[in-house]
């Protein structure tokens, strides 16, 4: 095939270091906009970004020109530096080391967008640890729980 034809929808999830409550409603919209620009800069359109106080979800259309690992690394590095400039309450901000990433079929896009958009409501009933374990189980991803929390 002479062309590279790719369409990968990816649901990315990662938390703040030690699941500290840094992503408050005061900063989240600006953070989401900043991350959307980072995604765009790496040819990966952000379709929806949402968070609770201790973690973030990003649904994007991953570019065929960048590895997922590189995209996440760039998002985390740049957004971490950026958020630290937003006031003294954010100067100790860090993202956790790892991340979760899950492929999303075209048929599931609207459902995942709705899910990400409603993170604050969703986390009134379920914490991030339980949510991530549920996501890993649903995707049949093997894990050792002692290595997924930092």
pLDDT digits (tens, 9 = 90+) for 12-28: 999 999 999 999 988 99
Least confident of 39-43, 44-48, 99-103, 132-136: 132-136
The number of folded domains in the chain is 1
Task: Tell me, yes or no, whether 32 lies in a domain.
Answer: yes
SS3 26: coil
Task: Tell me, yes or no, whether 18 lies in a domain.
Answer: yes
Res 120: pLDDT: 86
Res 33: pLDDT: 98
Residue numbers of the domain that contains 85? 8-139
Residues 49 and 116: beta-carbon distance below 8 Å? yes
Task: Tell me, yes or no, whether 146 lies in a domain.
Answer: no
Averaged pLDDT, 75-92 = 96
Band of pLDDT at residue 1, cut at 50, 70 and 90: low
CATH code: domain of residue 123: 3.30.70.1290
Lookup: tokens for 138: 């649903």
- Tokens 């259309």 found at: 61
Res 96: pLDDT: 94
Task: Tell me, yes or no, whether 145 lies in a domain.
Answer: no
> How far is 137 from 141, CA to CA, in rounded Å?
6
- Tokens 């049949």 found at: 140
Residue 35 scores a pLDDT above 70: yes
Task: Tell me, yes or no, whether 81 lies in a domain.
Answer: yes
Task: Tell me, yes or no, whether 147 lies in a domain.
Answer: no
Task: Tell me, yes or no, whether 117 lies in a domain.
Answer: yes
> What pTM was computed for the model?
0.92
Res 5: pLDDT: 86
């Amino acid at each position: 095939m002479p062309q590279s034809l790719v369409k990968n929808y990816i649901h990315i999830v990662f938390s703040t270091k030690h699941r500290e409550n840094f992503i408050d409603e005061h900063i989240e919209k600006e953070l989401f906009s900043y991350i959307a620009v980072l995604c765009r800069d790496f040819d990966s359109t952000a379709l929806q970004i949402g968070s609770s106080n201790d973690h973030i979800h990003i649904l994007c259309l991953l570019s065929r020109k960048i590895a997922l690992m590189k995209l996440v690394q760039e998002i985390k590095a740049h957004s971490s530096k950026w958020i630290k400039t937003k006031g003294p309450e954010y100067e100790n901000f860090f993202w956790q080391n790892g991340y979760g990433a899950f492929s999303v079929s075209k048929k599931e896009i609207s459902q995942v967008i709705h899910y990400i958009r409603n993170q604050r409501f969703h986390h009134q009933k379920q914490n991030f640890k339980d949510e991530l374990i549920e996501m890993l189980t649903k995707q049949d991803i093997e894990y050792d729980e002692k290595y997924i929390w930092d």
